[in-house]
Structure 1
Amino acid sequence: MLRYNSLSDLELVELLRTGDQNAFAEIYERYFELLYLHAYNRLRDKDEAKDLVQELFSHLWSKRGTLEPKTNFSNYLYTWVRNRVLNAIAHKQVEEKYRAALPGWISGTEALTDHRVRERQLAAIIESEIRALPPKMREVFELSRKSNLSYKEIAEKLNLSEQSVRSHVKNALKVLRMRLGILLYLFFIFYK
């Protein structure tokens, strides 16, 4: 019987490329905690760090057939996490910039009325993009964000695993970020 914990990273990657779930599990066991700590030390947010590392492993599994064994697989994993952390930090800085600018936008009655109109327009755009999500992803996302159910409650209600629920929410957010990113940018530029 093959002992996965005694295999090198390169051997595990080769097995992973063939769809070997045990090789994937060993890579996960070997690196999850280290990568989580690496992400958490930068982000200081447990859930965000955990989601980021889960996204990496989801990416690894979905791209397993095209993975090219690297001479230093751990560097590949750390680089992937570092890049996503830097993206998350940059995104937070943009959010803070908009949050800081918001009070200036809402000065006066006219600006407040205009803001409410834009808020409704933006809500309609966001709702439209949510309706465009695949049915199961949309259902999970709405239960999470609109009904404020926990991942565990959603999993029990829909007879899914918590990991599936987390993946649906994460993927929905990813799709919405991609679809809404440019729209929000243009919305704020043209409606200052």
Structure 2
Amino acid sequence: MAIPTTPTDQQLVAQLREGNAAAYTQLFDRFQPTLYVYARKITKDKDEAADIVQEVFLYLWDKRDSIEFDHNILAYLYSAVRYKFFNLLDKKKVRLDYADSLKKYMQEGSPETDNLLREREMLRLIEEQISLLPPKLKLIYELSRKANMSTAHIAELLDVSEKTVQNQVSLAVKQLKMKLGALQLTGLFLSAEALAELMKKL
């Protein structure tokens, strides 16, 4: 039986696991343009998009002998791009939170209040609850709230209706608010004002 002149994705992945650099190059050439377009859509920044895609392929090579593909290679790479994107958002948020805290300290000349520390702990716990949302619900919520994407943009990106996006975001917010109320009962008591502000952030 003649060997196909163009190897399939599965054949390239098998060769990649064996450390075949040529297979890795072919995978890069095959999928990099598509992943870059996708990364540009979600980051809206060409440099960040290029960095994310590069990191994904570097990781693919570094972990080539241990990565397990539950789906096809392209689906895996799409997920990896999303993961890197949300990591980037989290890092930006940390930098902004640190800058805000430093500014507050410089203006007031005093350490953060106990209530602010409790609010930060509550936010940390909320992030944990976000991570426990069903995958698609979590993705839509994070694209809406963390990436600040419009309903239309998310619908186009995920190939669903805008109504579906709206319903999913509403469902996620409802679930998180219920969790927030439950967390408040664990001993992380905030003022009514602080609790109201947290609700606005969902």
Bigger helix fraction:
1
- Give the TM-score of the pair, scaled to structure 2: 0.47
- Give the TM-score of the pair, scaled to structure 1: 0.50
